[in-house]
Structure 1
Amino acid sequence: MNSQNQTKLRREIAAAGTAAVARNGYVTAIDALLATGWLRPEKVEDWRRGRVPYLEQVTVASLSKISTTMRIFRSWAESEGLRPSETVYVSWTRDRRRLRFSKSGDPNIERAYRTHWRPPRMNGHRGEA
């Protein structure tokens, strides 16, 4: 991926991330992938409903591009002072099984996908619990 494409990707991730934090109080790797256009909301729903074995399977980008996106996303989140909060993703099926994100199933990659990034709590400010 050339530097011009990476610059565009950084802008897309920053815009989507800022909007997600304003809307939800946190931002996710899924938000970043949706911002690229490589992942469609209906494909996320298919994955959540257990119709897809892992999220990367329905992301229309190479593993290299996905990896670059994840690196840029984490870098952006850290530069914004957001703090990581690992979350469990379970399917929207009766068995509520844990969802898998990556083809490899590598624990570090799975953790990166599961991590939500939240703004730090303000002193004297009562935010959501």
Structure 2
Amino acid sequence: MNSTDLDKDVKRLVHENVYDKGFFSVVDILLQQNYLTNKDYDDWRFGRVDYLEKVCKINLVKLTLINKLIMKYSTELDLKSSWTGYNQYGKGINRRLRFSKSGDKTIEDSYATHYIDKERMIELNEKSAIN
């Protein structure tokens, strides 16, 4: 997928997720684009993979582009950013998971941020309360 197609796909997924759920995360987008499989995601969440980028089916240049596009569209939509800690699933030590090989704080934070449309969340909550 070239950069233009990737841009269109990320924009579409951002809008769909905000409309359907009122929020989204980078992990949501990677799963929906099939750059990350559910099995690989689960392996990472249970600590069987050192860092998430290791199991993504896309190169680092495109992963960086996806993160930049997500930030661009979340800013355009005036979404609230919310850092979310990803901890290992399962019993034992509750350790923080890594997204990148480097562990750089800026990179880690970009992956761990969820983007929320508060007004849409209220609409969805009101709609579900009626049903």
**TM-score, structure 2 normalization:** 0.82
> In the alignment, residue 106 of structure 1 is paired with which amino acid?
D
- Asked if 1:102 corresponds to 2:111, the answer is no
**Residue-by-residue CA offset, 1:36-64 (whole Å, 9 max, x unaligned):** 32211221111111110100000122211
8 A Cα contact 1:27 1:117, kept in partner: yes
Over 3 Å counting, the alpha-carbon distance change for 1:113 and 1:62 in structure 2 is: same
> In the alignment, residue 108 of structure 1 is paired with which amino acid?
T
Higher relative contact order (CA 8 A, sep 6+): 2
Over 3 Å counting, the alpha-carbon distance change for 1:96 and 1:23 in structure 2 is: farther
Counterpart in 2 of 1:31? 28
Counterpart in 1 of 2:49? 52
CA–CA distance in structure 2, aligned partners of residues 30 and 90 of structure 1: 14
**Residue-by-residue CA offset, 1:11-54 (whole Å, 9 max, x unaligned):** 21122222322343311011222233221122111111111010
> In the alignment, residue 38 of structure 2 is paired with which amino acid?
P
- Structure number with higher helix proportion: 2
Q: Aligned residues: percent identity?
A: 33
> In the alignment, residue 52 of structure 2 is paired with which amino acid?
L
**TM-score, structure 1 normalization:** 0.83
Root-mean-square deviation (CA, aligned residues, Å) is 2.1
> In the alignment, residue 17 of structure 1 is paired with which amino acid?
V
CA–CA distance in structure 1, aligned partners of residues 20 and 90 of structure 2: 26
